[in-house]
Every structure is written in structure tokens, then in C-alpha cells.
Amino acid sequence: MSFLRRRKAPVNTTSPGSDHEEEEEKDKKKENKTLKVKTKSGEGEKQKKWSCVGNCFWFIGFICSVWWFLLFLYNAMPASFPQYVAETISGGPLPDPPGVKLRKEGLTANHPVVFVPGIVTGGLELWEGRQCADGLFRKRLWGGTFGELYKRPLCWIKHMSLDNETGLDPPGIRVRPVSGLVAADYFAPGYFVWAVLIANLARIGYEEKNMYMAAYDWRISFQNTEVRDQTLSRIKNNIELMVTTNGGKKVVVVPHSMGVLYFLHFMKWVEAPGPMGGGGGSDWCAKHIKAVMNIGGPFLGVPKSVSGLFSIEARDIAIARGFAPGFLDKDVFRFQTLQHLMRMTRTWDSTMSMIPKGGDTIWGGLDWSPEGYYNCRARKLKSNDTCRASQNDKKNLDLMKNVNYGRLISFGKDVAELHSSRLENLDFRGAVKGRNLANTSTCDVWTEYHEMGVEGIKAVTDYKTYTTDSVLDLLHFVAPKMMERGGAHFSYGIADNLDDEKFKHYKYWSNPLETTLPNAPDMEIYSMYGVGIPTERAYVYKFNPQSECNIPFQIDTSADGGNDSCLKGGVYSADGDETVPVLSAGFMCAKAWRGKTRFNPSGIRTYIREYDHAPPANLLEGRGTQSGAHVDILGNFALIEDVIRVAAGASGDDLGGDKVHSDIFKWSEKINLKL
């Protein structure tokens, strides 16, 4: 017992001093815990304040890395494996690529071929930049991997933007087009543009000595590509060299998308006297060009350009904004993505070349449009089986919807459908603009909407609906600096008298309704485009009051017309290639240039070749060999075969003349244009 007592004594017999020390130790532990909690909460506050832009762009980088890894696996497979799987799925041997097929028929390289890329598909590289772009000399800023976009987005935007006053390079920055066939063969790894067409031409004997990529800086106005880079002169010299070195054989020119308008400008420039033109003379095109095979040409502009300039939106972006409000605004990322993109793209003068041309005469007014009744439920529209309004076909008539595409922008679904006699429009043109928004000092980036003020923004919505004519006034109202620059380089009307001296100015050369084709009666012009895909034609908008920093107008994705309606997610769709409506791509060759007209005084033969869209049969077919989509059509086997046959010496009549699936001729007849 004495032993136990001795063992317990140290535990139970504690002095008052030791109790005090234990209490101090407990207090210290509590203080340490409190400090740790405060430190963690402080870090949490810092993390909350820190923008998640970095994480977002790292996520994009992760997606790209996965894509590259999958490409690596695809390329590591035996060459015969994809073909074996595809043949197993399709139940038979795959058709030969057009180049292989035509080589078996005995076709060989004949006429030199010139490619003219469209907007955004040509690579751009850095030659001089600011400090934030160190290490990027001659690296691609546009095209390729787009690595710098997610590594340093604000620096990338700064270098891709042009001067808001001149439309040319900002001080200390030089971004220039990549040269050679690699400029636009692939837009990004695995995403072809011209590569498939080039490869098939190579199969019948073409190589770089008789193929030329007319690369240019697609951001700047067409005439400024000559002022800054002498691009038009380089194209002229290269074509002359190719004709000379290929035994005097004329070139076949293949422009795509905006490249169609660019080459239209070139044909007027090359014949015009200097210093404004190239001084080639009125017979230059007749001597050097066999055919111009326009692919997906926005001859009369595209409605999508209006929504892009007005609210930096298209169908897909509008759906993303509607699904997750604030996702692309400062509300979530604390980085005004759309505002930065708007400020950047509004410095690209070339975008204004695709504003719809011809006004209400071409695109329709408040109560009519050339397309008129349209079967929006049909996936594909063919001239021989499209539902048409007829007295003897009541079933098909029920499927037709009288869609008024003439109202390019309407504020509200009810306004889009209301008869013009019941519309109450308040004219916005005289509205007083002023910087009286609540607070724009917290905005990351300035846009011209900040200068409009509450009254200016209200005036735009009070006008209710805009046709093609009034859309031009609208853009002048909301973006005066941009339209002032654009007005010096582009025009959107219809010429009353093409002999008027004013139409010799370069601003009219890319508008086919205000200029004439070259004096080249032996030349051929083709309009080649996809059909059977819903294509943006008109929009329903709403006012967006969320924040003084946000873009105040937004496509109303809640506006929907039901299962059989042409209105889906605030967008009215018509027939086209997903970007260019049939009306814009086909009208000139269907009517305005058909035969000898005031727009085609020498009677150049014109052909329409439409390609009915069919999605890929399986994943191994990639983006499809029968696609009619705006870019994917460059891999369409039927189109490639047509191009190769003409390059090998065939004419439009040899191809079978027109190949039409849409109602382009019917719609063209509804347009009252003096010929």
C-alpha cells in the first residue's frame, strides 16, 4: 500500500504553480488554433478575390492536351486499321478519294490552281510585339495550337486587335499572315481546311510549283492589305508567274468564304489604273484566269455578321449565355470575355465586308422576304421534293410556315410576328446619347455601348424591329467609329448607274451589286455551296439589364416557335450551309450574273453547284465526305471532284451545268432587281 501511495503522490499532489502553467499552455494552444483558423480564412478570402480565369484557360489546355493525345493514338495505329474498321461498319470497300479515282481515269495536272482562304482560316504570326509577348517572335497567334490564348489571354487580345482609328497595326505591334500552303491547310491540329483538297490535287500530279495559297491578313480591309503588305500586287505577280511557267495555261482560282469577296475586289483592283489599282488593264483577267470556283461565297453578306457586330453573338454563343447567364461575363469569371472579344473584333474592318448588301430589295422588308413560305421541319430541302404551297397539295401546305425573314432584328417574339400596320416604332436616330450609365469605372474594358447612355440604349429597343436597310443605321448608331472606318472601304447598296464615276472607287469593288464583272467572256464563274442545314437568317433580341458593364442587347433564347417552327432559341433559320444562306451564296449566279446583264456585260458563263448535306456515316469518316457545312464542305468528295475536273481542263458544261437542290431560282425571281 505504501508503494501505491508513493506512485499516486506525484499525480495527485500538484502545486498551485503547476496548475497555472497548465492553464497558460491551454491558452497558448487555443491562440494557435485561432491563428490557424484566421490564416485559413484569410487565404480563403484571397482565393475568393482571385479570378478563376487562369483555371479556365488551364482547363482549355487540358482539353487540348487530351485532343493531342488522342491524335497521337490515332497516328500510332497501323495505317490500314481505320480503313478496316470503316469497311467493317459500312459493309463494303470504301470509295476511292477523288484524286485516286480521277487519276485512274487518266486526269493529270493541267491549269495552275490558286487558293484564296476566308476569314479566320488563315494563320497569323507575330513579327513585333509588346513586352508581354516576349519569346513569341514568328510564333502563330492565330491558327495552330492557340497556346498563347489560354496562357496569356489579355496579351493575345492586345496583339490580335488593330488600331481603332486607322484599322491598321497599333504602335509597336506587327502581326502578319503566314505564307505558303501551310498558311491555311489546317486551322488547328487535326482540323483541316484546305488540306484534303490539296492532297487530292497532288494525287493527279500537282505540287507547290503549280499550287499557290494567296494568304492575306483577313483582319484588315481589302484595300489595306495592299497598302500595308502589297498583298494584291503579290497575288498578281504570282498568277502571272504561274501562267508563264506553266506554258501559258490560265489559272483556276478557288476562293472560300470571305475570300470570295476578297478576290472579287482583286479582279477590279488588278484592272484599275494606278495608284489605286494594279494597272493590269481591262483584259488582264481574260488573259490569266480560266475559272473562279467560289466555295461558300457570301456574295450578298451574311445575317450572322450583324449579330456578331451588334452583340458579339451567334446561335451557339447565345445558347451558352442563355443556359448559364454570366458564364461569359464578369459575373462568373471576373473577366469580361464578350466585351474583350467585341472590342477586338470591332477593330477588324474585314468583318464589315459581310454585312448584308442590297438592302430590303434583296433581303425583304417588314412584311415580305424572298424565301416566303418555307418548310422548316424538313431536314433537307430539294428542288424535286421540297414541300411547296400549291392548290392541289394541302398536306404540304400545312407544313409551310410564312416566315418573314425581312425583319433581321426584332425586340421580342411578338414584334417579329406582328403585322407592320400594328407596329409602333420610335425613331432612334435622333436620340441623345450620353455617358450616364450607373457606373462604368469598374468595367475591365471600354466598349462604345458605354458612350450610349440609358437614353441611347432605350431608343434602340423602342424602334422594335430592323430590316436590312435600318440595320445599317443601327450599326452607325451603336458603333460609329467602326462604321466610319468601314464606310471608307465597303458599300452595301445597289447601283442605279454603273457608269457613274464614283463606282470606280475601291469601296465598291467587293459589292457585286455596285460593280461589274471583268471583260472576260471565256472565263467561267461557279457558285459552289452546301444546302440542307438550318442557317441563321434573322434574330429575336431582348434588353439585358444585368450590369452596366455587360453588352446591353442579347439574343432571346427563350423565343421559340415550337417543333415545326423556323424560330429556335431566338434565331430564325433558313436553308444554307450553316453560315451563308442560300440567298446570299446563289443569287448572283442564279439571276444577277446569268447571261449578259448590266452586272455581267461580257456574258461570263455562270454555274450553280449545290451539295446536299449528309452527316458522317461513322466516327472514322471524320467530318464527312458529303458534308455541306461551311468549312467541312472543303472535304466534300463531290466538290473536290468538280474542282479537280475543272483544273484538269473541263468546263461547266462538262460537269453537267447547274446542280440545284434548293429553291434559289424561285426565290431569285421574287427579287425585283433591274438587270
Known catalytic membership, residue 577: yes
How many structural domains comprise the chain? 1
pLDDT tens per residue, range 139-162:
999 988 777 777 888 899 999 999
Between 621 and 296, whose confidence is greater?
A: 296
Half-sphere exposure of 153 (CA within 13 A, CB side): 16
Answer yes or no: is pLDDT of 384 > 50: no
Residue 518 is predicted with a pLDDT of 97
Residue 390 is predicted with a pLDDT of 35
DSSP 600: B
Answer yes or no: is pLDDT of 75 > 80: no
Answer yes or no: is pLDDT of 619 > 90: no
Match 481542263 to its residue by C-alpha cell.
Answer: 649
Q: Average pLDDT for residues 219-241, to the nearest whole number?
A: 97
Residue 22 is predicted with a pLDDT of 57
Answer yes or no: is pLDDT of 10 > 70: no
Q: Average pLDDT for residues 371-398, to the nearest whole number?
A: 48
Rounded to the nearest 10°, the torsion over CA 446, 354, 148, 49 is 30
Q: What is the DSSP string of 524-565?
A: EEEEEEEESEEEEEEEEEEE--S-TTS-SEEE-TT----TT-
Between 585 and 440, whose confidence is greater?
A: 585
Q: What is the DSSP string of 159-194?
A: HH---TTTSSPPTT-EEEE--SGGGTSEEETTEESS
Is there a domain that residue 448 lies in? Answer: yes
List the one residue out of 637, 640, 625, 631 whose CA is nearest residue 192. 631
86-92-94 Cα angle (round to 5): 60
Q: Which of 65-74, 151-160, 210-219 has the lowest mean pLDDT?
A: 65-74
Determine which one of 577, 642, 658, 663 is catalytic: 577
pLDDT tens per residue, range 78-91:
665 555 555 565 55
Is there a domain that residue 424 lies in? Answer: yes
pLDDT tens per residue, range 280-338:
999 999 999 999 999 999 999 999 999 999 988 876 665 555 544 554 555 433 456 77
Domain range for 470 is 303-376+401-512+534-576
d(CA 157, CA 18) in angstroms, rounded, equals 68
Q: For residue 255, is the peptide bond before it cis, meaning its omega torsion is within 30 degrees of 0?
A: no
User: Which helix (H) or strand (E) covers residue 292, if one does?
Assistant: strand 289-295
Q: Average pLDDT for residues 249-265, to the nearest whole number?
A: 98
Query: Contact 309/351 with Cβ under 8 angstroms?
Result: yes
**% of the chain at pLDDT higher than 70:** 77
Answer yes or no: is pLDDT of 527 > 50: yes
Is there a domain that residue 451 lies in? Answer: yes
Residue 73 is predicted with a pLDDT of 74
d(CA 312, CA 334) in angstroms, rounded, equals 18
pLDDT tens per residue, range 169-199:
999 999 999 999 999 999 888 889 999 999 9
Residue 259 is predicted with a pLDDT of 97
Answer yes or no: is pLDDT of 377 > 50: yes
Answer yes or no: is pLDDT of 35 > 80: no
Q: How many residues does the chain have?
A: 675
Residue 435 is predicted with a pLDDT of 59
Residue 382 is predicted with a pLDDT of 39
Residues 6+ apart with CB under 8 A from 621: 86
pLDDT tens per residue, range 483-517:
999 999 999 999 999 999 999 999 999 999 999 99
Residue 458 is predicted with a pLDDT of 86
Q: Which of 251-265, 536-550, 627-641 has the lowest mean pLDDT?
A: 536-550
Determine which one of 470, 630, 658, 661 is catalytic: 630
Answer yes or no: is pLDDT of 381 > 50: no
Between 579 and 39, whose confidence is greater?
A: 579
Mean confidence (pLDDT) of the chain: 83
Burial status of residue 361 (CB atoms within 10 A of its CB: 0-12, 13-18, 19 or more): middle
Using DSSP bridges, classify how beta strands 186-188 and 140-142 pair: parallel, antiparallel or unpaired.
unpaired
Determine which one of 221, 257, 353, 547 is catalytic: 257
Using DSSP bridges, classify how beta strands 113-116 and 124-128 pair: parallel, antiparallel or unpaired.
unpaired
pLDDT tens per residue, range 425-464:
777 776 666 655 545 555 656 667 777 778 888 888 888 8
